[in-house]
Chains A and B, each alone.
Chain A
Amino acid sequence: MSGDRVYDLLEGIVGEGNVSREPHILECYARDSTTNPPSQPDYVAMATRVEQIQELVRLANREGVPLVPVVGMSSTGGLTIPVEGGIVVDLHKMDRIIEINEDIDYAVIEPGVTIGRLDAELKKRGYWVSLPVGPPGSAGLVPGYILHGYGHLGGKFGINSEQITGMEVVMPDGELVRLGGCAVSPYWFHRTPIPDLMGLILGWQGTTGIVTKLGINIYPRPGFKDMVGWGMFTPHEEPLPESSARFLMKVARLGLAHDISGHSWGAVQIGRGLKYPLPPKPREEPELYFSATLYGFSREELAMKKKILESLVREGIEEGLPVACTDVTERVKVEMPTRYALKYSDHRGGGGLDYIGSITPIINWPQGIKRLNEIFDRHGFTPYIRLAIYRGTLQGMMRALMPYNRGDEKDVEAVRKIAREVVQVVLDCGGLVYKAPSFACEEMWKRGDPNFLELMRRVKQTLDPKRIMNPGRLAL
């Protein structure tokens, strides 16, 4: 007996050695790589079984102690920081791939299955799924998917949460619930046509339940890959013309590419080995480097896709668009999970990385990019804007990445300011912040439908009356 009742109860649930209240262990769960202020939990418990999670939730309810589920703690936005203390439930050891069904093409995984591990396992069988593009291979797939994340095949498959077929969830009262087809059928194949209750979990940042199993679509992995690259030009201080956005929309409408994304000039230079601080962008170089990643099951299919896209780029050039072909031969070789974003975040020195990501209509990207550039320039940061178009839509990810020195308070303060300014730009462009830190949620709700916020509050109150699940998130 430790003399700490909650600790003893936790130990009774997860077993000796799987719970800690040592300050040095808690410290490691107090922060992420962003500038969101750290905050220590009171306990950390390592869960390995669903029943343990149910027990932990019941205990948290009885004691009125907050509970924060975490896997890789790689999500930016301070989403795993236990702002009100309580118990961090570390799920990274719940890492079984429970089923890969090659007759119906879905997989069922536990929350600790990492994006790298699932990809490696699927690759062996000739399958793949859309993976978050930037995080380390050790990040969990489940947290990324249930927060609507963006994946490297977003141009083909859409937002990651659209690939979810079923779910098993421990609700805030400890009940275990199945959602989607698996609630009725032995198969985890789809979430329709029954009422789609997954909206109670998706995008809620762990505030309405703990997902213990997730079903997702898997797809045959094509054997051939190629890319078409083009640059979009402006003299930096001027916005891209609207016609450049319309050009991207044209590419999106073709529906040929598995991924269509763009990166600021600076990000590409760092990838090419240039060191911090970077010189100003030469006028003759593109403001944004775009690429369309193409896959095919045969060389012929791939060649055809490439031909169509290249002719579209050529047409654009002939029509006088500020567009030119660029070389992407090296990037074709890059495999997922990539380490690029991690390396990028090293360039300023000091390990920190903050970002604000959004889903924003493409038509508003030119004005958004111009304003984001101004913010970066004003604070003395290399602009890194990342853009990506989602399947079948004319909107996509517009994200601003800020690498900073964790050891330098001035850097930390500057990035906090940048993040807040970026949120305003996103909202002015009609965008929505994804994986939003609570300060960004506050700004969204200020501009939003008050009844939407009210409904969210009522749902949360109904599901989690004691407010134990990841409190402090979503500015509720």
Chain B
Amino acid sequence: MGELRLPLGDYRETVHLCRLCGNCRQAGTTYLPCCPAGERFGFDEYYSRGKAIIAGQLLKGSLAWSRSLAEVVYRCAVCGACVEQCPVSYKDYILDVFAALREECVERSLVPREVGDFLENVYKYGNPWAEPRQKRGLWAEGTGIGEYERGEDFLYYVGCMGSFDTRGIEMARALGEVLLASGLSFGILGSGETCEGNEVKLLGERGLFEILAGENIRRFTGLGVKRVVTLSPHAYNAMKNEYPAYGGNFEVKHYTQLLVEMVVDGRIDLSKGVEARVTYHDSCFLGRYNQEYEAPRKILRSIPGVELVEMERNRENSFCCGGGGGNFYTDFFGSEPNSPARIRVREALDTGADILAVACPVCLTMLDDAAKAEGTEGGMRVMDISEILASLVLPERGSS
């Protein structure tokens, strides 16, 4: 056996920068809770403050690693709300400390079973559900969306949720069809696609992330891809912010950033409109991680008849659906009334919205399930922006 790599050691000095102030419990301005893990489980360790304390004690040797500790470490959506609220220099290290804690859990074979399964499945099958690779492009059947060919403007990267999750597939098709209707030149990778690795890195498997990033970069480069449009903000984050370090310098856009341009220049015609009160839920990986708050809102505001209303917690102070950091798969937050997604759905209901709009397949699945658990059938609907647009621009879908 080789020596253990102990990534937490790099933060020996910096963990003490945490002021133990607890500002990471609440979102500024409204002072409503901001941490999904803290909301769900309550004990101080679930907040960033607590994780700084345990990291410090682990480094001092006065606390022992254990499976139960690893469980707490993984019951975090890595949503970045704590980073947003932290008033001191420790904010620059919070996510690195979380990553180091998780990397150590991996090194020490302490990861919860669900995390182990996720990582192993991605390693073997390129997706967390152990679905055969050949099935990856099946979602596109009958849509007319073709495989990417050299010279096309965009590679449409769909990701694991869009390829295999029921709601994700509906979203992937909706976006694909809207893009087709707009006349954009694009293609997909189909069965040649593999996981982009965003969650793999967040779960602490840096080595596997590097393999996935390398594989994707080689494939994209081999096909002559210059521009990528992603369905998921998670993939957008990895490709935009992580891939350049591995030589992957593509122009990456989240689909809302591309669509907003097309709405503005008239390639997408929304004049059909829809009478609806809509509230928008910010995805953490589009919003807090990449400061894109405006594109999705601008699209929604461009739809005649739409009244856009904000939830109390929005933009950088938004409250995560609880799906980040692989929780859409591991389901550590469950479906109890105090699970983050259900809390968020209730907040959306408070606005009186007809539609809770999202721009992420993870948020879509998490919030759609939560809405069912909250019994919203016949009332507020959870829809991705791509689905709303599809209902406006595709004649066969109609406005529903």
Contacts and interface: CB of A to CB of B under 8 A. Distances in A.
Interface of A: 17-18, 20, 22-25, 27-29, 31-33, 44, 46, 72-74, 90, 92-93, 114, 116-117, 119-120, 135-139, 339, 342-343, 345-346, 349-353, 405-407
Contacts of A352: 16
Contacts of B102: none
B25 interface: yes
Nearest to A406: B16
B44 interface: yes
Contacts of B15: 407
A119 B16 contact: no
Nearest to A70: B44
Given A33-B19, A90-B44, A342-B19, A22 B31 contact: no
The 7 A-B pairs of least Cβ separation, nearest first, read A116-B31, A407-B16, A28-B44, A346-B88, A339-B87, A28-B50, A136-B23
B53 A27 contact: yes
B88 to A, nearest CB: 4
Contacts of B89: 346, 349
B22 A138 contact: yes
28 contacts: A20-B43, A24-B63, A24-B66, A24-B68, A25-B50, A27-B53, A27-B63, A28-B43, A28-B53, A28-B54, A31-B53, A33-B20, A46-B42, A90-B43, A114-B25, A114-B26, A116-B26, A116-B28, A117-B31, A117-B32, A120-B29, A136-B26, A138-B21, A138-B24, A350-B17, A351-B19, A351-B20, A407-B16
B88 A343 contact: yes
B291 to A, nearest CB: 21
B64 interface: yes
Contacts of B31: 114, 116-117, 119-120, 137-138
Of B44, B54, B63, chain A has the most CB atoms within 10 Å of the CB of B44
Contacts of A405: 16
Given A117-B32, A342-B23, A407-B16, 9 more contacts: A20-B43, A22-B66, A23-B63, A27-B54, A27-B63, A29-B44, A136-B22, A351-B90, A353-B19
Contacts of B377: none
Interface of B: 12-13, 15-26, 28-32, 41-45, 49-50, 53-54, 56-57, 63-64, 66, 68-69, 72, 87-90
A33 to B, nearest CB: 4
Contact of A74 (B17, B21, B64): B21
Given A27-B63, A342-B88, A135 B43 contact: no
Given A24-B66, A28-B45, A349-B17, A74 B88 contact: no
A351 B50 contact: no
A346 B17 contact: yes
Of B20, B42, B63, B90, chain A has the most CB atoms within 10 Å of the CB of B20
Contacts of A407: 12-13, 15-16, 56
Nearest to A121: B31
A175 B3 CA distance: 58
B68 A17 contact: no
Contacts of A33: 19-21
A28 B69 contact: no
A351 B88 contact: yes
Contacts of B12: 407
A138 B32 contact: no
A88 to B, nearest CB: 9
A352 B16 CA distance: 8
A345 B88 contact: yes
A342 B21 contact: yes
A63 to B, nearest CB: 22
A117 B312 CA distance: 12
Contacts of B13: 407
A436 B57 CA distance: 27
B57 A27 contact: yes
A351 B43 contact: no
A11 to B, nearest CB: 14
Given A24-B69, A90-B42, A31 B64 contact: no
B81 to A, nearest CB: 13
Contacts of A136: 21-23, 26, 87
Nearest to B30: A120
A24 B21 contact: no
Contact of B20 (A31, A92, A137): A31
A352 B21 CA distance: 10
A35 to B, nearest CB: 12
Nearest to A32: B20
B80 to A, nearest CB: 17
A53 to B, nearest CB: 15
Nearest to A17: B41
A406 B55 CA distance: 13
A138 B25 contact: yes
A119 B32 CA distance: 11
A166 B31 CA distance: 25
Nearest to B42: A46
Nearest to B20: A33
Nearest to A408: B16
A90 B15 CA distance: 24
B44 A117 contact: no
A456 B18 CA distance: 37
Contacts of A353: 19
A42 B22 CA distance: 22
A22 B69 contact: yes
A139 B29 CA distance: 15
B231 to A, nearest CB: 35
Nearest to B65: A24
B111 to A, nearest CB: 16
A191 to B, nearest CB: 27
Contact of B22 (A22, A27, A74, A350): A74
A136 B49 CA distance: 13
Contact of B42 (A93, A116, A346): A93
Nearest to A24: B69
Nearest to B70: A24
Contacts of B87: 136, 339, 342-343, 346
Contact of A139 (B16, B22, B42): B22
Contacts of A28: 43-45, 49-50, 53-54
B75 to A, nearest CB: 11
Contacts of B26: 114, 116-117, 136-138
Given A137-B26, A339-B87, A46 B43 contact: yes
Nearest to A335: B29
Contact of B45 (A17, A24, A343): A24
A136 B16 CA distance: 18
A114 B16 CA distance: 25
Contacts of B24: 138
Of B20, B21, B32, B69, chain A has the most CB atoms within 10 Å of the CB of B21
